[in-house]
Amino acid sequence: MDVVDPWTGQSASALQAALRDSNEGFAERLGVAVRTVAAWHKGPRIVPRPEMQQALDTVYEKAGEHVRRRFAALTRPPADEVQPQALRVAIAVVVRGGDVLLVCRRGDGALTWQFPAGMIKPGASAEAIAVQETHAETGVHCAVREHLGSRIHPATGVTADYHLCEHLAGEAENRDVVENTDVAWVPIAALPRFIAADRIYPPVLAALEAHA
């Protein structure tokens, strides 16, 4: 079970909303005055007293799964406010003539086409990870030709390093059946049919347009 540490006026109000309590009902549930609940709405950065933190913990722990899911949805930051994480990934944009290499990943109940990528462990070279993970996932040997830049990924908050790579050898095949359902060489001109253009890092688009 997730732990909320510490509770604030904002998260307490989100719990109230997830429980679908009125101010009066939430106050009664917690054993506090209605004005205390109202104060949390007015002051989202308020940090309740330790005894109130414990009371909020107890209410959250006793809540059903459907309440916790609503609470998680209410407290999840918008996509444009995703906070950077310590994790870094190396992304390989592998070209072969007018084609680019993609993998179709499983995740959150949906399939998404992406460029091959791998987690960068401390002390590891991003370029080496891009090459190694491409081969591990697809069987394709490639070489990094250019670093296209880095960004905080708008959907995950992970730091992503993009590398333009050239195909050296190997036919594309799905070597990671746990993470992926398919791999494919896709015509660069058809890339927006697989990944929406507004989701692709602009320097990647520019580099691919030069190869199309």
Q: Is the dihedral of CA 106, 109, 111, 112 positive or negative?
A: negative
Q: Is residue 146 part of a domain?
A: yes
Residues of the chain with pLDDT > 90, as a percent, come to 43
- Which DSSP state fits 178? T
User: Any bridge partners for residue 182, and if so which?
Assistant: 104
Can you give the pLDDT at residue 134? 95
What integer is the mean pLDDT of 100-122?
Answer: 85
* CATH number where 108 lies: 3.90.79.10
In this structure, the answer to whether residues 207 and 157 fall within a common structural domain is yes
Q: Is residue 104 part of a domain?
A: yes
Q: Is residue 133 part of a domain?
A: yes
In this structure, the answer to whether residues 60 and 121 fall within a common structural domain is no
Can you give the pLDDT at residue 113? 92
C-alpha distances in Å from residue 150, one per residue of 94, 179, 185 = 17, 24, 24
1 pLDDT tier (thresholds 50, 70, 90): very low
Average model confidence (pLDDT) across the chain: 87
Residue-wise pLDDT for 156-171, tens only, equals 778 899 999 999 999 9
Q: Is the dihedral of CA 95, 96, 100, 103 positive or negative?
A: negative
Residue 77 has pLDDT above 70, yes or no: no
Greater pLDDT, 152 or 103: 103
Q: Is residue 153 part of a domain?
A: yes
In this structure, the answer to whether residues 131 and 189 fall within a common structural domain is yes
Residue-wise pLDDT for 6-39, tens only, equals 889 888 999 999 898 998 999 999 998 988 998 8
Residue-wise pLDDT for 2-12, tens only, equals 556 688 988 89
Kindly give the residue spans of alpha helices, DSSP state H, lying in the chain: 9-19, 23-30, 34-42, 50-62, 65-75, 126-138, 202-211
The residue out of 47, 76, 105 marking a domain boundary is 76
DSSP string, 74-87: HHSPPGGGPPP-S-
Can you give the pLDDT at residue 189? 92
Residue 212 has pLDDT above 80, yes or no: no
In this structure, the answer to whether residues 69 and 102 fall within a common structural domain is no
Q: Is residue 81 part of a domain?
A: no
In this structure, the answer to whether residues 72 and 93 fall within a common structural domain is no
Can you give the pLDDT at residue 50? 84
Q: Which range of residues forms the domain containing residue 97? A: 88-211
Greater pLDDT, 212 or 89: 89
108 CB-contact burial (10 Å; exposed 0-12 / middle 13-18 / buried 19+): exposed
In this structure, the answer to whether residues 119 and 161 fall within a common structural domain is yes
* Angle in degrees, CA 168, 169, 171, rounded to 5: 135
User: Any bridge partners for residue 183, and if so which?
Assistant: 103
Greater pLDDT, 84 or 11: 11
Q: Is residue 185 part of a domain?
A: yes
